[in-house]
Structure 1
Amino acid sequence: MKNILHAAVSLFFCLASVAALYILLGADFLGVVQLLIYAGGILVLLIFGIFLTSGIYKEESKKNISLHSVVI
């Protein structure tokens, strides 16, 4: 779980730095659009999906542990 969250944060910083490069090159509109759409919107959806699926993985791991203990 931590590695996926770290990857999402790294993606945010990467997209924000691309937006900063666009702004430094004089393409202000493109930089703002990059920051709002990609770094803002898509990353929020990605993190929302990560938090929704974290409960599923925890439930599956608990089932696997109990099954292994019964077999042993």
Structure 2
Amino acid sequence: MAINRRLQTDADFAEAKERQLAVRVFKDDHMIDSGGVILRFDNQTVVIQSGVGDLAYHPRPDCEFFELKKR
């Protein structure tokens, strides 16, 4: 079973990026991305890679980001 932890601060995003943990992204209460890892982030955008050529750019203020940890 997985544990979801919300990413809110720059430190949260940096830790998820460093540990290459899977991330779920929600927008308007709908999951729009799942299973990718954070490549880079700033105050406006979070870039997530799900595959070799699969990059997604998510607006940080409009989305909720959750780190997916396995128990």
Which structure's residues are more often helix, by fraction?
1
Fold in common (TM above 0.5):
no
- What TM-score do you get using the length of structure 2 for normalisation? 0.22
- What TM-score do you get using the length of structure 1 for normalisation? 0.22
**Structure with larger Rg:** 1
Which structure's residues are more often strand, by fraction?
2
